[in-house]
Amino acid sequence: MEEHASELTAAVTFDAKRAMLSKRDLFRPLAVQRTEGLADALSSKKVRADTPVLVLERDGAALTLLTSQMIFHHVAQGEWNGTPILATF
């Protein structure tokens, strides 16, 4: 993936001092339990071609999250190719 000035990149470190933690969740987390290929979701019309998405790329593989779900949940967590993931929006 080429680097572009407007491209968002993952933070190298996590600064716990910036975390806003509370005893209760303000939004229900989106627990990613299964995935489906974007081409399959498009062909089965589960996702429209003009649907806004967020794309995560790692080691040449891509994971696509629906922006509409991320706007509501703000956090997606699960496992991707055997690696725990957490994505925020």
Contacts 24+ apart (CB under 8 A), 11-15: none
Give the chain's domain count: 1
State the pLDDT at residue 34.
Answer: 76
Provide the residue type at 56 as one letter. L
Task: List average pLDDT for each run of 10 residues in the chain, which is 89 residues long.
Answer: 50 73 72 78 91 86 85 80 82
CA atoms of 87 and 10, how far apart (whole Å): 10
- Whether residue 10 lies inside any domain: the answer is no
CA atoms of 21 and 77, how far apart (whole Å): 17
- Whether residue 66 lies inside any domain: the answer is yes
Residue ranges making up the domain that contains 69: 35-88
Cβ atoms of residues 54 and 45 within 8 Å? no
